[in-house]
Amino acid sequence: MAKQLHEPVQVVKQRRDAALKALVEGVPYVRFLGIEFDRRGDELTAVLRFDEKLIGNPLRQVLHGGVTAAFLEVAAIMTLSWSYLWPGIENGEIDVERMAAGELPRLPRTIGFTIDYLRAGLPRDAYARAVISRSGRRYASVRVEAWQDNRDRPFAQGSGHFLMPPEEAAKG
């Protein structure tokens, strides 16, 4: 299905937001942790809403290191998935309504992931952005950084390699 050259802005936004919502809400663990995504064009920022259940120390109010690791991994996979699905969402090869109904395309899978803990995760919201360093047909490499109050003072950084789904899978 060919789309007209300049679609109305609401149509474009609605399609992209619906696709992103389907991706995020389709994964139970992402909902469980309370991770949301802000979108500016194709750029994503992951947001982890603080909750008492995310605390990793009975004596101090700090985020569990595993939650931080999971947050970085989710941000990396979602950024990679979004970049991989974007052309199909834009040219109509991916049916966003089917995605919203729960028929998600196959997504990248983690091969390995490394996390460096730079500071304690404070009991407040956290943000993360990922950058795709290498995007190959079989696997992709992503680096990701998370911060809280100050963008220039990340509390964790990570990098990982991800197995890409077979090519025809992007069409849903």
Partner 1 sequence: MADKVKIARQFIEAIPHARELGMQLTELADGRAEITMPYDARLVGDPKTGVLHGGAISTLMDTCCGAAVMSHPSAPGGTATIDLRIDYMRAATPGQKITARAHCYHITHAFAFVRAEALDEDSAHPVAVATGSFTVERG
Identified binder of partner 1 from the candidate list 11, 101, 111, 169, rule CB under 8 A: 111
CA 102 to CA 22: how far, in whole Å? 7
CA 38 to CA 123: how far, in whole Å? 20
Q: Which stretch binds partner 1 (CB under 8 A): 1-9, 106-114, 132-140, 144-152?
A: 106-114
Q: Is 54 in the site for partner 1 (CB under 8 A)?
A: yes
- Give the nearest distance from C-beta 147 to partner 1 in angstroms: 18
Q: Is 85 in the site for partner 1 (CB under 8 A)?
A: no
- Give the nearest distance from C-beta 159 to partner 1 in angstroms: 10
Residue type, 86: W
Q: Following DSSP, what letter does each residue of 20-71 receive, concatenated?
A: HHHHHHT-HHHHHHTEEEEEETTEEEEEE---GGGB--SSS--B-HHHHHHH
156, 117 Cβ separation under 8 angstroms: yes
Q: Is 64 in the site for partner 1 (CB under 8 A)?
A: yes
Instruction: Print the binding letters for residues 12-41 with partner 1: x by CB under 8 A, - otherwise.
Output: --------------xxxxxxxx--------
Q: Which residues pair with 157 in a beta bridge?
A: 116, 145
Where does this chain bind partner 1 (CB under 8 A)?
26-33, 52-59, 64-67, 69-71, 73-74, 102, 104, 107, 109-117, 120
